[in-house]
Amino acid sequence: MEYIPNTKEEQQQMLKTIGVETIEDLLGDIPSEIRLTRGLQLPPPLSEPELKTELLRLSEKNADLLHHVSFLGAGAYDHYIPSVVNHLAFRSEFYTAYTPYQAEMSQGLLQTIYEFQTMICELTGMEVANASLYDGGSALAEAAMMALRVTKRNEILVSSTVHPFYRAALRTYLSGTRARILELPLENGATDLVAVGKQLTEDVACILIQTPNFLGCLEPVEGLAQEAHRHGVLLGVAADPISLGLLKSPGEAGADIVVGEGQGMGCGLNFGGPYLGFFATKREYVRQMPGRVVGATVDTKGRRGYCLTLQTREQHIKRERATSNICTNEALAALAATVYLSVMGRQGLREVGRLCLQKAHYLKHRLCEIKGFEMVFQRPFFKEFVVKTPVPPARLNKRLFKHKIIGGLDLGEVDRKLKNHWLLCVTEKRTKEEMDQMVTVLKEIIA
């Protein structure tokens, strides 16, 4: 516990020990013009019931999703979280545990991580997965770094349809290396296959794509995999795990590394985090994979047990052999995802994906009934899509918000070339009534 001198004699002794005479002397380096020269204007103290009432009043100023309908996605998604997820994940033995440094003392936590790895492998079609990473962006950057180590090459091709935040994380991670990052152009909302063929050289370590991509479109994963492998290049795919309930897994389509953001699997929006990065790859690359891997074993009596099989970070092995400086994994968020996937099962995840797909297409058709609204990309999409609007999306979002509707992302804020382009998201939580209400409000705005 921090010690605070509470008598005048103690304070004087402290000041004498550090070589000053008064508290004012400690503040000498702070310019007088920015000091507070009056007493703090604090309100009078409140009783506990009064304090709770005041905090509730303040909290109701927030635009929470209990009172608003959201059509905003772009990396953070309003999926339904079954009650059992929080009921189990918030048990004190889970949410108070930090990380399994003493593996033999953390059998329950290690088992949950092992199950998480297993489910991620089944979901992505890959052979090995780690215990999780910080988020989808850091997972993609780690995929690039792993590809550089595996291939001993120094160029990364990343599609311009990858989330801009992910690309920013990639640039940050590789800024201290000799690696070069080249961006692939888009063609009708997806990576341009022709451009890929032209940019593949003996220096390219991997191609990084996202599917569904930042614009909502599905990427030609199989075509990109074939093109990459012809040149000895790895293919890294950032995937939406919810979409994998319906779509062919990236592993089946030829990917070498599959990463993604797991927030949609049982983690709330939470004002932006903490989120969950997952990372899976082929068995042959397991010793180049970042983070940690939990394995199943048996003890001396033949009983099943779990241990940290691979720990490839700087704190565990020689620094020059470390694959990453990732210091921990998102164990609690990974636990929530594990419970979510266990509860939903194959059929449940397929149903969630089907609802997202059908409802997103329903809203697309309704919006295109409004004069001036039109689809931008003629490609298959899952739960997000881009429409061109007759008025600035910022104006639409402002008017919608008055009706307690959170609109989509104004893509003009991301790229000036995408002025009057609106990225909308529809999850399984959105109802026909909510979508129809949104269309009604938009018609009134345009009129």
What is the SS3 assignment for 258? strand
DSSP 138-189: HHHHHHHHHHHHHH---EEEEETTS-HHHHHHHHHHHTTSS-EEEEEPEETT
Please give the pLDDT value at position 447: 85
CA 137 – CA 146 distance, rounded (Å) = 14
pLDDT for the residue 312: 67
Whether residue 385 contacts residue 424, with contact meaning beta carbons closer than 8 Å, is answered with yes
Tell the residue number behind the tokens 């997820």, with chain if given: 85
CA dist., res. 349 & res. 369, Å (int): 31
Name the 3-class secondary structure at 220.
Answer: coil
For residue 281, what is the DSSP state?
Answer: E
pLDDT for the residue 436? 98
- pLDDT, one tens digit for every residue, the chain (447 residues): 445 556 788 888 888 898 888 888 888 888 988 988 888 889 899 999 999 999 999 998 888 999 999 999 999 999 999 999 999 999 988 888 766 665 556 788 889 999 999 999 999 999 999 999 999 999 999 999 999 999 999 999 999 999 999 999 999 999 989 999 999 999 999 999 999 999 999 999 999 999 999 999 999 999 999 999 999 999 999 999 999 999 999 999 999 999 999 999 999 999 888 899 999 999 999 999 998 899 999 989 999 999 888 876 656 666 677 777 776 788 899 999 999 999 999 999 999 999 999 999 999 999 999 999 999 999 999 999 999 999 999 999 999 999 999 999 999 999 999 999 999 999 999 999 999 999 999 999 998
Nearest Cα residue to 439 out of 385, 375, 373, 376: 373
Query: Helices 331-367 and 107-124, interaxial angle, to 10°?
Result: 30
Burial class (CB in 10 A: 0-12, 13-18, 19+), 294: buried
Amino acid code (one letter) for 122: E
- Is 3.40.640.10 the CATH classification of the domain at 83-341? yes
Cα dist from 413 to 378, 410, 422, whole Å: 23, 6, 10
Tell me the backbone φ, ψ of residue 345, rounded to 5 degrees.
65, 180
What is residue 190's three-state secondary structure? strand
Query: What are the two backbone dihedrals, phi and then psi, of residue 37, each rounded to the nearest 5 degrees?
Result: -100, 5
The H-or-E segment that residue 356 falls in is helix 331-367
> Taking a C-beta distance cutoff of 8 angstroms, is the pair 192, 185 a contact?
yes
Which residues, listed in sequence order, are joined to residue 237 by a DSSP beta bridge? 209, 258
- The whole-number pLDDT of residue 167 equals 98
Q: What is the pLDDT of residue 1?
A: 43
- Hey, what are 319's tokens? 């620094």
User: E strands of 59-115, at which residues?
Assistant: 69-70
Q: Which two tokens stand for residue 363?
A: 């809203």
pTM score, whole prediction? 0.88
Are 329 and 317 in contact by the 8 Å Cβ rule? The answer is no
Pairing of strands 234-239, 257-261: parallel
Q: Are 151 and 133 within 8 A, CB to CB?
A: no
Let me know if domain 69-80+345-446 sits in CATH 3.40.50.970.
Answer: no
What sign does the dihedral 152-186-188-351 (CA atoms) show? positive
Sign of CA dihedral 71, 76, 77, 83: negative
In the chain, domain spans: 69-80+345-446, 83-341
